[in-house]
Amino acid sequence: MSTTSSTILNLPDQKTATIPKMNYITKEDGLWSWLTTGDHKRIAMLYLISITFFFFIGGIFAGLIRLELLTPQADLVASDTYNKLFSMHGIVMVFLFLVPSVPATIGNFLIPIMIGAKDLAFPKINLLSWYLYVFGAIFILAAMIWGGVDTGWTFTTPLSTHYLNTNVVPAALGVFIAGFSSIFTGLNFIVTIHRMRAPGMTWFKMPLFVWSNYAASILMVLGTPVLAITLTLVALERTIHIGVFDPTLGGDPLLFQHLFWFYSHPAVYIMILPGMGVISEVMSTFSRKRVFGYTAVAFSSVAIAVFGFFVWAHHMFIMGVSNYSALVFSLLTMLVAVPSAIKVFNWAFTMQKGSITFETPMLYSFAFIGLFTIGGLTGVFLGSLGMDIHLTETYFIVAHFHYVMVGGMLMAFMAGIHFWWPKLVGRMYPESLSKLAAVTSFIGFNLTFMPQFILGYLGMPRRYHSYPAEYQVLNVLSTAGATVLGVGFVLPLIYFAWSLKYGEIAGNNPWQATGLEWQIQSPPLTENFTETPIVTQEAYDYEWLANKTQHEVTTVG
Amino acid sequence: MNEHQHHDPGNITNPEHAEHHIVTPKTYGIVFITLLTFTGITVWAAFVNLGILNPMIALAIACTKAVIVILFFMHVFFQSKLIKMTVAAGFFTFLILVTMTLSDYISRAWGLW
Amino acid sequence: MDNVTVATETHAAHEEHHVSLPQHRHHFETPEQQREAGTFGMWLFLLTEIMFFGGLFFAYLLYRNWYNPAFVAASNQLNIPLGTTNTAVLITSGFFMALAVWAAEVRKKTFLVATLLLATIFGLVFLGVKYFEYKEKWEKHHIPGASFDISEFVNPPRDAKTGKPVEEPLSPDMAQKTQVFFSLYFAMTGMHALHMIIGVGLLLWLIPRAQRGDFTAGYVAPIENFALYWHFVDIVWIFLFPLLYLINRHPV
């Protein structure tokens, strides 16, 4: 099929097209069948609903924060309440949205299909993983309802262990349980990718999305348990005063931070790596070209995961670590930026001499490339000791991590959802509205967070709800941006819901993409493939796709 | 060798064509006696004043015991490279946690070390 | 050029070579694949346990160096015969568990049930001894908290024969740090005991199933993978014992 217009979207004739009668959604009916399913695709959809719900909860907290910060005075909420707002915003967004976002939804749905398997290695553990997420989330909700927690999402000691009487233990318990959800997802992915690839699907024929999730899964399995023991110790410290973080009993509060950040730094790579995997897929499809430097991108995903374990104390430069260890961690932080940069260069070269089209997933990918680069570079600034002393605990940090997490990860998540939505539900969303949402969220995002770099540089501290009057203009810009950003995220909610009933039928391969998931029906069968595929083509092999499509066209009567 | 009619260059279904090795009770018995012996040695060594070597010997004996439990009771000696690498990766990450956190505590000028 | 070839014919031919076990899950091509995947998954779970206990071991490493005299004195309060016995008990339990795996592999049902029972009994003995040790700590007011008693560390009892104190006396400040030792002692052995209790619970579930013959007909994965867990818990104790009980036992 030739691309006659400036889009590669190729939908079947809507007058005759129908959703396939047998698919994973129609296989069984009733809520119970969904709640007891082993089907990775159904579990992915359960996750999608849950994380969307918590995304909006986290978003509401963000809205309240920005509303308070419209004026220099503390006039909307009391200071304790403001502390609770940013704490809950962080906890919900990090643990209940960002960490599971791509792996638990798109990853769960697609990884088995992409490697030619019928399901993940351990379907029951996959379902358990979702239930653990829900239980963890319930505890965090309970902490909110019982009055909130105000330690910041980082639970720093001795504040969290000795100086607060808020709901630290329920919140910590919720994060602990949600952490095990993450561990089991990662465990499942690792075993599946090692042991369940279809015949011919060697490591270097796999889509790069699978490589990225594999790297993130290693981090999930090795890093999250340290968070678990850290939160356990915080709970024990609060309840029975074991003294492990209490200076008056001989403990060291900084020990908490070492253990906490040992997980939480790899956690940011858990969050971003799957997003990078999405970008590889989208970049290739909408440039009609294989990803440049496949091996480099694959190995750099693993390198990011490995190096990510060596840099955690860059979150602690001003907390009392020794100068020598600060030097070591600063140097290693510079190194960890290299594999990320390699990937950005490779994506850029993927586009070079490709046939680029600007559908919604590609728009989000462009946003990702630019915004992640800004976020990543500002991370390098923060990794250098001298700059960090000035910029840490200011809005510069807030802007940095929102650029990588929202400008990077969330844009990648949106790219992924918009790219694979037709595969998940069999229908397309309205392209004009989706493009509008993409542009709106890009504008809103930059308006919200670019001023915060300046605010941080000028010295406005983070986690403060009042500030000197001279910072107000930038704060007002930021809040205005947040409103626009919010619209950009509400729109997809509306049109995706609309598309479930009224969207155009997508067919197997609306984007004319390579990859095993595009060779099967949309939505897929429960067992994914009618026969086990045997793979001989490379990843992103557009010649193979063209030959196959032509062969199908000439042989269908 | 199993005849796999379908093409499996990824070597997924029978990795490394490993014959499943059944470890004998005799091996287990030897390991058992060795573990008990080492336990005795470590208790005895604790009562001998060897200065700085005491904790090192205790840890060395504990590591040896752990290694033989892993290799023989847990069969890792007879298993695929993947399993061996997995075990190594776990202990490696633990070592990173310990050594890099120690790099802070040991080098603190004001520290209690 | 169709590269997505049908594999159905060859799949059927393959199935004739072995009988499918009832526990064969159909997203796996072969039982070997299922078994290897199960073992791999179990090891990944054990990696999380290494990192989980790892945090506690680091805290121990740090505070043992910071408060060495307190740790020495506090460690000497622990009972070596009981600790050594417990170590031997747990090693024996592990030995029986390893034999149980062999029994399942060679399909000896009675021997499997016997070894599983012995592993359980020795595990319970371990827990029983720990209970007595904890009780003794309670009686001597060595549980950290408001009722902690440092008098024995500040004024150690004197040896009847030589008249010298049994331990180096500690300053009150350092004596207070013995609470750090005991906190870590209870946290680490407590976490270990919790894992033992879970293990015993799982054993009590496995034994009736073994009696029914579930694991002596070719499907050994639950026994094999539980054994991995049990040995891991044993390894944690192999480290805990010298670190907690044997810090400095040479005569003063």
Q: Residue A242: what pLDDT?
A: 87
Whether A77 shows a pLDDT value over 90: the answer reads yes
Give Cα B19 to chain centroid, integer Å: 23
- Whichever domain contains C88, its CATH number is 1.20.120.80
Contact A252 C52 (CB under 8 A): no
Q: How far apart are CA A63 and CA A58, in angstroms?
A: 9
Q: pLDDT class for C167, splitting at 50, 70, 90?
A: confident
Q: Are residues B55 and B84 in the same domain?
A: no
% of chain C at pLDDT higher than 70: 91
What value does the mean pLDDT of chain C take? 88
**pLDDT tens-place string over residues A19-44:** 999 999 999 999 999 999 999 999 99
A439 class by beta-carbon count within 10 Å (0-12 exposed, 13-18 middle, 19+ buried): middle
Residue C48 near chain A (CB below 8 Å): yes
Q: How far apart are CA C109 and CA A96, in angstroms?
A: 46
Contact A244 C184 (CB under 8 A): yes
Q: How far apart are CA C10 and CA B3, in angstroms?
A: 10
Please check whether residue A319 lies inside any domain of the structure: yes
Whether B9 shows a pLDDT value over 80: the answer reads no
Q: What range defines the domain where residue A160 resides?
A: 33-550
A14 class by beta-carbon count within 10 Å (0-12 exposed, 13-18 middle, 19+ buried): exposed
Q: Residue C1: what pLDDT?
A: 36
* pLDDT (mean) for B85-108: 94
A552 vs C33: which has the higher pLDDT:
C33
* pLDDT (mean) for C58-81: 93
Please check whether residue C151 lies inside any domain of the structure: yes
Helices (H), A69-167: 79-91, 101-102, 108-115, 123-145
Whether B77 shows a pLDDT value over 50: the answer reads yes
Long-range CB contact pairs, A467-470, < 8 A, 24+: A467/A69, A467/A72, A468/A72, A469/A72
Q: Which residue of B has its CA nearest to C65?
A: B113
* Residue A177 and residue A139 in contact, taking contact as beta carbons nearer than 8 Å: yes
C43 vs A17: which has the higher pLDDT:
C43
**pLDDT tens-place string over residues A379-393:** 999 999 999 999 999
Q: How far apart are CA C246 and CA C227, in angstroms?
A: 28
Crossing angle of helices A108-115 and A168-195, in 10° steps, is 10
**pLDDT tens-place string over residues C92-104:** 999 999 999 999 9
Q: Residue A257: what pLDDT?
A: 96
Q: How many domains does chain C have?
A: 1
Contact C95 B22 (CB under 8 A): no
* pLDDT (mean) for A263-271: 97
- Whichever domain contains A146, its CATH number is 1.20.210.10
Could you give the angle at the alpha carbon of A123 between the alpha carbons of A118 and A126, nearest 5°?
125
Q: How would DSSP label each residue in A261-327?
A: HHHHHHHHHHHHHHHHHHHHHHHHHHHTSPPTTHHHHHHHHHHHHHHGGG-GGGG-TTTT--HHHHH
Please check whether residue C69 lies inside any domain of the structure: yes
Q: How far is CA A506 from CA A273, A353, A429, A522, C34, in A?
A: 28, 28, 9, 7, 35
* Residue A185 and residue A108 in contact, taking contact as beta carbons nearer than 8 Å: yes
- CB contact set of B36 (below 8 Å; sequence gap of 6+): C88, C91
Chains that touch C (3 or more CB pairs under 8 A): A, B
Mutating which of C11, C23, C28, C48 best tests the A interface, going by the most A Cβ atoms within 10 A?
Answer: C48
Q: Which amino acid is at A346?
A: N
Please check whether residue B2 lies inside any domain of the structure: no
C-chain residues near A243 (CB < 8 A):
144, 179-180, 183
Q: Which amino acid is at A222?
A: L
Q: Residue B13: what pLDDT?
A: 57
Q: What range defines the domain where residue B93 resides?
A: 80-113
Please count the other Cβ atoms lying within 10 Å of the Cβ belonging to residue C17. 11
Q: pLDDT class for A557, splitting at 50, 70, 90?
A: very low
Q: Are residues B24 and B54 in the same domain?
A: yes
Q: pLDDT class for B35, splitting at 50, 70, 90?
A: very high
Please check whether residue C6 lies inside any domain of the structure: no
Please count the other Cβ atoms lying within 10 Å of the Cβ belonging to residue C216. 21
Residue A231 near chain C (CB below 8 Å): no
What value does the mean pLDDT of chain A take? 94
C-chain residues near B55 (CB < 8 A):
247
- Tokens 């539980």 correspond to C226
Please check whether residue A383 lies inside any domain of the structure: yes
Q: pLDDT class for C160, splitting at 50, 70, 90?
A: confident
Which of A389, A403, A291 lies closest to A348, judged by CA?
A291
Q: Are residues B86 and B35 in the same domain?
A: no
- CB contact set of A293 (below 8 Å; sequence gap of 6+): A342, A346, A349
Please check whether residue B58 lies inside any domain of the structure: yes
Query: What ipTM was estimated for this complex?
Result: 0.93
Contact B31 C44 (CB under 8 A): no
Crossing angle of helices A79-91 and A168-195, in 10° steps, is 10
- CB contact set of B7 (below 8 Å; sequence gap of 6+): A199, A200, A534
Q: How far apart are CA C153 and CA C20, in angstroms?
A: 65
Whether A477 shows a pLDDT value over 50: the answer reads yes
Please check whether residue A23 lies inside any domain of the structure: no
Contact C102 B28 (CB under 8 A): yes
Q: How far apart are CA A543 and CA A551, in angstroms?
A: 12
Whether A280 shows a pLDDT value over 90: the answer reads yes
Please check whether residue A14 lies inside any domain of the structure: no
Please check whether residue A377 lies inside any domain of the structure: yes
Q: What range defines the domain where residue C132 resides?
A: 56-246
Please check whether residue C11 lies inside any domain of the structure: no
Q: How many domains does chain A have?
A: 1
Q: Are residues B63 and B109 in the same domain?
A: no
Please count the other Cβ atoms lying within 10 Å of the Cβ belonging to residue A70. 14
B-chain residues near C232 (CB < 8 A):
74
Residue C205 near chain A (CB below 8 Å): no
Q: Residue B10: what pLDDT?
A: 52
Q: Are residues B61 and B19 in the same domain?
A: yes
Q: Residue B112: what pLDDT?
A: 66
Please check whether residue B111 lies inside any domain of the structure: yes
Q: Are residues B53 and B35 in the same domain?
A: yes
* pLDDT (mean) for A41-64: 97
Please check whether residue A12 lies inside any domain of the structure: no
Q: Residue A195: what pLDDT?
A: 92
* pLDDT (mean) for C176-189: 93
Q: How far is C19 from chain B (nearest CA, A)?
A: 15
B/e letters for A368-388, b = 16+ CB within 10 Å, e = fewer, are bbbbbbbbbebbbbbbbbeeb
- Helix, strand and coil in chain A, % to nearest 5: 70, 0, 30
Q: How far is B41 from chain A (nearest CA, A)?
A: 32
Q: Are residues B71 and B89 in the same domain?
A: no
In this complex, the residue of A187, A226, A228 whose CB is nearest that of residue C45 is: A187
**pLDDT tens-place string over residues A323-378:** 999 999 999 999 999 999 999 999 999 999 999 999 999 999 999 999 999 999 99
Q: Give φ, ψ of A366 to 5 degrees.
A: -60, -45
Q: How many domains does chain B have?
A: 2
B-chain residues near A195 (CB < 8 A):
12, 15
Q: Residue B16: what pLDDT?
A: 53
Please check whether residue B3 lies inside any domain of the structure: no
* pLDDT (mean) for A128-157: 95
Chain B (12-71) residues lying within 8 Å, Cβ to Cβ, of chain A? 12, 15
Please check whether residue A118 lies inside any domain of the structure: yes
Q: pLDDT class for C164, splitting at 50, 70, 90?
A: confident
Crossing angle of helices C68-75 and C178-212, in 10° steps, is 50
**pLDDT tens-place string over residues A152-182:** 999 999 999 988 889 999 999 999 999 999 9
Q: How far is B56 from chain A (nearest CA, A)?
A: 24
